[in-house]
Structure 1
């Protein structure tokens, strides 16, 4: 069974690119064929050709197949399984969560994102907010703040894949992670680590039908 190599996503939060190419996209029948397709630059991850079969692909990554002129977004379902959603023309944008920020000399801010990307930005940003990046140049087009009233997707735990509005952010005075109460089809609680901001009153990216 293929395993991911160290990269932009953790092993638990990703799947090898060969699985995407062979099993989710169905472009090839086996790993040997997948290796050939990747070597020829046939599959892009977030706008960049990746040639490693075990490159880790994670949630919200944009997978492009230039030969088919198609783009897909990797998401998870209610059981935590990865699946692809086809995007329409012009929708190939990347959603990333701000994990850490550092103010540099000159007033610019370095944002460390969940997929390993580090970018320089101007303005005020808060951790756990999301930025929407253009593909492949990774310019920020919007910021979705981590705050009550905004829309979030759960990306781990028993409510993985569910979408709802943040009702309460509860700061826990201990070593345990803060808690978030989300109102969706029903009201539930999850840890802040499982919360990914996706929009304000509606999703800022397509969360459409699975291929």
Structure 2
């Protein structure tokens, strides 16, 4: 009989092709926790810090940085080293005053682009779904799992892009 639950580990060679990591190297790699993004369009925060940006050498250093609130994703401090950081998310390092946005290149690989503080305040999100809720209002489900209630449903269609302000969540 096969596995009935998800696996909690991941081999480096079996990682999604969009992840910008070398295929040869250590056998195991960090698998992300369930979260707002799919596994194909996101990567655990620990891999971004340790393997991509080289801000830490070991996983222990990554966990120290996360536990002391030295890393923010979309304006919120993250403590889980497996937290999935996906497309258009903003990673902020307060001690370095650096902002990075996750993007995807022409080859389909995820990469980080350094941005300024003004650009870090906004985030483009695609509308995945529209549904009617109590009171006749319409709720939009966005690409990263956020829900937004709107008054005028005719202005928005699925597939459109909303630009969300991360500071006041509008």
TM over 0.5: yes
SS of the residue 1:20 aligns to: helix
* TM-score normalised according to structure 2 size: 0.76
Unaligned runs of 5+ in 1: 140-211
Distance 1:71 1:10 in 2: 22
Q: Does 1:7 align with 2:35?
A: yes
What's the TM-score, normalizing by structure 1?
0.62
State the secondary structure of the residue aligned to 2:141. strand
CA offset digits 1:56-110 (Å, max 9, x no partner): 1111111111111221110112222211111113111111111001223334321
- Distance 1:21-1:77 versus aligned 2 partners, 3 A rule: same
Provide closer, same or farther for how the CA distance between residues 136 and 30 of structure 1 changes in structure 2, counting only shifts above 3 A.
farther
Counterpart in 1 of 2:169?
138
Q: Name which of 68, 84, 102 aligns with 2:96.
A: 68
| Structural mapping, 1:97-176, within 5 Å | 97-123=126-152, 124-139=155-170
Cα deviation digits, residues 27-75 of structure 1 (max 9, x gap): 2111110001011111111111111111111111111111112211101
Deviates more, 1:97-106 or 1:2-11: 97-106
Partner of 1:138, secondary structure, is coil
Q: Deviations over 1:155-190 (max 9, x none)?
A: xxxxxxxxxxxxxxxxxxxxxxxxxxxxxxxxxxxx
Partner secondary structure for residue 33 of structure 1: helix
Q: Select which of 72, 85, 107 maps to 1:57.
A: 85
Determine the structure 2 residue equivalent to 1:43: 71
- Structure 2 gaps of 5+ residues are 1-28
Asked whether the equivalents of residues 18 and 34 of structure 1 are also in contact (C-alpha less than 8 Å), the reply is yes
Q: Secondary structure of 1:23's partner?
A: helix
Q: Is the contact made by 2:41 and 2:110 (CA closer than 8 Å) also made in structure 1?
A: no
Describe the SS at the equivalent of 1:112: strand
- Which stretches of structure 1, 4 residues or longer, exceed 6 Å deviation after superposition? none
